Structure 1
């Protein structure tokens, strides 16, 4: 697969978007395809099962290794603080800063946020960062937005956790207006006013910047289907997943509505090890995993994002095994 092109003089960074629809967006199209299952990784790209945060010693080598495989995305979480009661820091560094660094170190893989806590960030700043990344990567950036769920973070930012669902809807409307319209006019309930005197540049590679809902974001399926370009949830009961996906896709206008999920993941060194699913994670040998994911592909799962925090073997070794024995099964 050829690397996604960087912007050139043929597609000036402040010029009109050259693509026809969000389905033509290179990163989005690589990650989300109807009747296909793709795989991505949730950063950090390492296992740290017995520590509260990663060491990030070899993340450059890991990013380049992953970029050379058929993995389709690296997802970045937004965890501004270490809260011992949660015991999870994500990839430690700010997701937008990290996305820019990863973009410079990779050529093929999509880079997405899973997800930016929109009630804690100014939507115009998020919009500016997102379209800048989208243009600089030639269309490899996907913006995932979440509401957040840690009360301690909302208290630190002086933000009301009680109205986060309303502010999520408001923030997304601001981002849409700023990135999709020229000299937009938009009145926000919680943020500022766009009065038509200013225009945000650059614009996205496609007419609409791909925006995903990460989690339910306090919204119903009808609203998410009308206002986002896909949904990434957490690991759910496999016996109920087909019904969840059918419910998700029951609304809307019949257009493709991607579904994916994120999960903690540990790849056994024994390829014949049985699949184990419990809590927020899964573990197993590659043979059981392939059969499990083939069933889920047939049920309508489009993307699985693997968080290798529980991994107890070398990351590079696990990626090599997935690249050789698992990803090719789903490449056709």
Structure 2
């Protein structure tokens, strides 16, 4: 794990000790009745989120539209989109939730991630997943059952190329590195933060020792306690990864509205939301990533209200 003194600002803005930050998952708009967003004014909304005090913008990796899944995400390739957003923002962390690593060649992923890291001057966080759409695997001619092992080996390749000079390494599924090639650019802050998204087919023990952060969809109080205890135990003498969760989100226009859950959608007013986030901060949650797809209000309206009330309350508490 990254030591505290070595944490780049991309990591610290999203994951800091004794603090909970809030991020937004792209696309930055409400589109409850369609699988496809409009991407209208998305650059303006990204800047609005940054100015409002959100800690991060998370870009999804969805290669194909699957009608059975019903959501095409932001449609744009996450690395291309991150490069674009790097030019219209200046401080907010940009990250991926997450690049479907078993479907990608890790040398290219390393190059793309390091390029965005340089373009953003060190405010990029590489989130990696195994995806949630099995139907995509045959299109890439990748064995679905091998995704867990492929993920672990690909993470090691990315670490090797980004953190070493002229590395020597042999891999089972990918290439051989003979010490005669070196990848550039190197990470702006010496190390590229890597985050697991979902379980990624990995045991807790592997996650605790191989990633810097972990975002899952588990936000139940009792489950959070169990997760954090398991990570701490599995990390041994090391620092466990920072934990956060993601949620489909609908900010109720009534500030007094209580917490409600409709399958995987959280609907809540700002006062109950602030209390819930502070409670989770005290449990040890470090980041919450919100997906506005099911929102009944515009993204701009939600961002404005949270920037005026919720985010300042988190900073002040």
Band the TM-score falls in, shorter-chain normalisation: over 0.9
| Superposition deviation, residue 21 in structure 1 | 6.9
Is the counterpart of residue 112 in structure 1 residue 95 in structure 2?
Answer: yes
List alignment gaps of at least 5 residues for structure 2.
none
Contact 1:34/1:256, CA 8 A, preserved across alignment: no
Contact 1:120/1:159, CA 8 A, preserved across alignment: yes
2:190 is aligned to 207
Q: Distance in 2 between matches of 1:300 and 1:320?
A: 27
Q: Distance in 2 between matches of 1:83 and 1:248?
A: 34
Larger displacement relative to structure 2 (227-236 or 22-31): 22-31
1:55 is aligned to 38
Structure 1 counterpart of 2:230, from 238, 247, 250:
247
Greater helix share, 1 or 2? 2
C-alpha offsets along residues 265-317 of structure 1, whole Å, 9 cap, x if unaligned? Answer: 00011001111124222111101111111111111110000000011112111
Larger displacement relative to structure 2 (61-70 or 137-146): 61-70
Structure 2 counterpart of 1:324, from 297, 308, 314:
308
| Superposition deviation, residue 147 in structure 1 | 1.0
Q: Distance in 1 between matches of 2:5 and 2:80?
A: 24
| Superposition deviation, residue 22 in structure 1 | 7.3
How do 1:220-299 and structure 2 match up within 5 A?
Answer: 220-252=203-235, 253-299=237-283
| Superposition deviation, residue 71 in structure 1 | 0.4
List alignment gaps of at least 5 residues for structure 1.
1-18
How do 1:69-84 and structure 2 match up within 5 A?
Answer: 69-84=52-67
Q: How many residues in Structure 1 have an aligned counterpart in Structure 2?
A: 314
- Cα–Cα, structure 1 residues 152 and 202, in superposed 2: closer, same or farther, change >3 Å? same
| Superposition deviation, residue 135 in structure 1 | 1.3
If the length of structure 2 is used for normalisation, what is the TM-score?
Answer: 0.96
- Runs of 4+ aligned residues of structure 1 deviating over 6 Å after TM superposition are 19-22
| Superposition deviation, residue 254 in structure 1 | 4.3
1:306 is aligned to 290
Q: Distance in 2 between matches of 1:45 and 1:317?
A: 11
Contact 1:22/1:208, CA 8 A, preserved across alignment: no
Contact 1:47/1:310, CA 8 A, preserved across alignment: yes
Is the counterpart of residue 28 in structure 1 residue 11 in structure 2?
Answer: yes
If the length of structure 1 is used for normalisation, what is the TM-score?
Answer: 0.91
